[in-house]
Amino acid sequence: MKRSARITVAVLAPIGVVLVLLAVLPFLFRDRIAQRVQQEVNDNVNARVAWRGVGLSFFRHFPNLSLTLDDLSAAGVGRFEGDTLAAVSHLRVVLDVTSVVGNVLGGTPLVVRAIELDQPRVHLLALEDGTANWNITKTPPAASQPKANAKPLAVSLRRFQITGGAIVFDDRHTRLLASLAGYDQTLSGDLSQSRVTIQTTATVDSATVVFAGIPYLEHVKIGLTGNVDADLPGKTYTLANTQLRLNDLAVAASGSVKSAGSVLALDLAFKAPSSDFKSILSLVPGVYAHDFDKVQASGTIALDGWVKGLYGPTSFPAFALTTRVNDAAFKYADLPLPARSIAVDLSLSNPGGSADSTIVKLDRFHVVLGANPVDASMVLRTPVSDPDIDARLTGRVDLADLRRTVKLQGVDQLAGTVAANAAVRTRVSFLEKKQYDKVAANGTVDVTGLTVKGAALPRPLAVQQASLALAPERAQLKSFTGTVGSSDLQASGTLDNLIAFALHGDTLRGSASVTSKHFDLNEWRSGGDMDVIPVPPKIDVSLDATVGQLLYGKLTMMNARAKLRIANQRATLEQFQTNTLGGQIAVTGFYETTRPTKPTFDASVKLTKVDIPSAFQTFATIQMLAPVAKYASGTASTDVRVSGALGKNMTPVFPSLNGAGTLETSELALRDFPALSKLAGATKLDVLNNPTFQALKAAFRIDNGRLTVQPFDVKLGGIAATIAGSNGLDQSLQYTMNLRVPRSVLGSGASQAIAGLASQAGKAGLDLGAAAEIPLAIQLGGTVTSPTVQVGVGNAASSAVAAAQQAVTQQASAAAAQVVAEAEQRAQVIKQSAQALADTVKQTGYRQADSLTAKAGDNPLLQLGAKAAADKLRRQSDDKAAAIVRDANARADSLVASARAQAARVGAKP
């Protein structure tokens, strides 16, 4: 080997050994360190903490060792059982390598150098009684001693980093709700020292703060830079050179925070160093979202405030915030009109002790849009326990001027005027207790010539004229005339608690009379996978409705009248009547969307003399449950009670349907019905080809989507018949027909055919000429389009009654085995249909769950709510699917057992 090669090997060999050791050593220590972390968690945390995987590496933070926990989660226990407090995609802890070796070999402290959190999701929740889900640290027993095998853990933290975080703080005790999305933060400093200066930078893509139902920040970008002088033993943190930026508004902050258990001692002050009006204008979401850098602004602001006192489960600090805007204006460069003469005088104050002591005062709000001024003022007291509000609004807005002043996303056309002169002075408790003598409410809101078009609305909205008058007990909708899409509306009525609805989110109650010449329900569908018409929450109204022409699906209804009650996301129809399909329809029942993914209904429907072909073409329910209607002509009347679930396009989920009813027809003709055509071919009875039924009346029931017809008598082209049986969603037929065929309708072909059938049945020598009627027992099976026919011939009898009795006896014996076979076949169909339905229900539920989480976007508050709702929806879908299969199996087994028992009673041997 050459000298140069030997030198190269000598140099690279140690490096290779080191690299191998760096790659191998983590595997030697990983399990021990993971066990150490798990032990620390179990000893100190009262929560369910878990992670998917553990990784160790020397390379990421060489020469230190990095420990990574993947998919770390902490779930609550006790009152917060099952709630996720925190979830982190990756938690990385950087450990001093020498401390790791010393801890494993000699019990020296593990030293933490840095902590990194990747995509943490944190949900901090305090209940109305102050109990908080973040209080999970275990309190050691007073007389506890260190464990004999316990090894110390030291913190020499120099960097703490959060990337892509989302935090929700929900304090229901003080009605404070805050959320942060897109949260990044870096802290640096040597936390091994008792006193340290921590340098921090933080950014938030979207922050929202709501207190006592009033939004103070809405989707605001935040930036924070500054230093914190930390006295770690004293848990006191003092701000130095700290600046907070809210969108374009910079706020300088100073003061200190001291931690004492679950209580924070706050002494903070803040002030906006800039007096530029444009900076505070950036906090208006609609303005900041569209070309804010091109907005021209003038005017001055003054903003300052402070917070001082204790904040904790039973304490609340004193604070004050004042904001003043004087003679301000703003204008978009590409819009013609400015908003001008803007003045704001807003203050928030609290003497401390309770969040309920907060007072919000908007002494003045003034703006001029176009040529029209708008003025408002408000005072809000006791916002937590019993909101006490005094509010006034005066002004007129030309909506066309508004669109020429402010950019409105998703609005293509906006015109009309809104004029208001209203005042309200009340406590919410006065409204709840109906103490209207203590409520002051008066004024009017008038809308004229309103037109709105845009992507945000499924259909254009036009209001020719609307007038609302306020009063303490109820607001009166004096008039409303408008259109939504192609539908016109005229209404008048009263709203009993409009003020409580607006101020406190109570359910809106009222009554109205509504008329329309033309109303298209199809335009109100919500779109999406379910495509349902949603019933809105927090609405409790009664409507007397009259519609000249009402459209729904393929159905055109004339002169529709109904009493409609909307409450608890349920629409209840009473006395609905309309003319359609050549007859009349009357409906009483309800439709509800308390579970938007699966709306349900329960209705009594009465159809009177409707045209059968038209009804078949219009109603999917008839197509599925009464497929014979495809071949029928004439009119029918039915009275049915049916309930079940609705799916896409408001179509019933047929396997869920249950009900019962009656059917009556006048003369009814069947043309090209495959089952009767096949029966006519087998018996050569031409009268069964395209027969005409005389009036019939039958009772039926619907069980999980299968329609069963009770025995009924009918004249079938001059032949007396008794018919009973059922048909399913798979178009399967299971019907029996007992015919009493008069000798007079027997031609030579029919006589030969029936004689042949009798011979096959072991009844050769049957004298057809001696019988006044020939009893035939028919079994119809197969499907509607591909039926099977079995014909049995009874003994000759001198009367129809005797023939029918004999036919029934023979049929029972011959068909017993067939009953069991058909029951087994039907049971198999039930199980297969149930499994298919269960798969569909599960797929639909999971798809809806995925849609919920997708629609939540980047908003952490929506994400957490959507995740909980999605998980619940998936569990419900699994349970529902399992229940469908379980119930179907039980029903199928019961069906077969019943058939076997029936066969045994007639002496059959299936």
pLDDT over 70 (residue 23): no
CB 261 within 8 Å of CB 282: no
CB 244 within 8 Å of CB 269: no
CB 73 within 8 Å of CB 49: yes
Residues 249-301 pLDDT 10s: 999 999 999 988 778 999 999 999 888 898 888 888 777 767 788 889 999 99
Backbone angle region of 352, left / alpha / beta, with phi > 0 → left and psi within -120 to 50 → alpha? left
Lowest mean pLDDT of 334-348, 433-447, 686-700, name the range.
Answer: 686-700
Lowest mean pLDDT of 60-69, 544-553, 563-572, name the range.
Answer: 60-69
CB 808 within 8 Å of CB 738: yes
Lowest mean pLDDT of 415-419, 721-725, 739-743, name the range.
Answer: 739-743
CB 418 within 8 Å of CB 403: no
Using H for helix, E for strand and C for coil, what is the string for 31-85?
HHHHHHHHHHHHHHECCEEECCEEEEECCCCCCCEEEEEEEEEEECCHHHCCCEE
Cis before 63 (ω within 30): yes
Provide CB contacts within 8 A for 805, sequence distance 6+: none
CB 329 within 8 Å of CB 338: yes
Q: How large is the greatest C-alpha to C-alpha distance in the chain, in angstroms?
A: 126
Section 841-864 average pLDDT: 64
Residue 23 CA to its chain's centroid (Å)? 49
In 3D, which of 455, 385, 395, 457 has the Cα closest to residue 423? 395
Tell me what pLDDT residue 515 has: 94
pLDDT over 80 (residue 12): no
DSSP string, 559-597: EEEEEEEEETTEEEEEEEEEEETTEEEEEEEEEE-SSTT
Section 212-229 average pLDDT: 86
Q: Count the alpha carbons within 13 Å of 666 in the hemisphere toward its beta carbon.
A: 8
Section 299-313 average pLDDT: 92
Quick one: what percent of the chain has pLDDT higher than 70?
77
Burial of 59 (0-12, 13-18, 19+ CB in 10 A): exposed
Scanning the structure block, which residue is given the tokens 């006065």? Answer: 430
Section 301-330 average pLDDT: 92
Rounded-to-integer distance, Cα 477 and Cα 495, Å: 7
Tell me what pLDDT residue 394 has: 96
pLDDT over 90 (residue 82): no
Residues 413-469 pLDDT 10s: 899 999 999 999 999 888 888 888 898 999 999 999 999 988 767 788 899 999 999
Sign of CA dihedral 739, 745, 746, 750: negative
Rounded-to-integer distance, Cα 58 and Cα 39, Å: 23
Residues 28-78 pLDDT 10s: 455 665 666 666 666 677 778 888 877 776 556 567 778 888 888 888 888
- How far is CA 810 from each of CA 803, 806, 815, 822, 906, rounded to the nearest angstrom? 11, 6, 8, 18, 10
Rounded-to-integer distance, Cα 533 and Cα 248, Å: 42
Section 459-485 average pLDDT: 90
In 3D, which of 615, 533, 539 has the Cα closest to residue 580? 615
- State whether residue 119 is helix, strand or coil: strand
pLDDT over 80 (residue 738): yes
Tell me what pLDDT residue 812 has: 47
Q: Encoding tokens for residue 878?
A: 């699994």
CB 631 within 8 Å of CB 672: yes
Section 216-242 average pLDDT: 89
Tell me what pLDDT residue 804 has: 37
Residues 699-712 pLDDT 10s: 999 888 888 998 88
Tell me what pLDDT residue 57 has: 66
> Number of helices (H) and strands (E), helices first, in the chain?
13, 40
Per-chain mean pLDDT for the chain? 80
DSSP string, 169-203: EEETTTTEEEEEEEEEEEEES-TTSSEEEEEEEEE
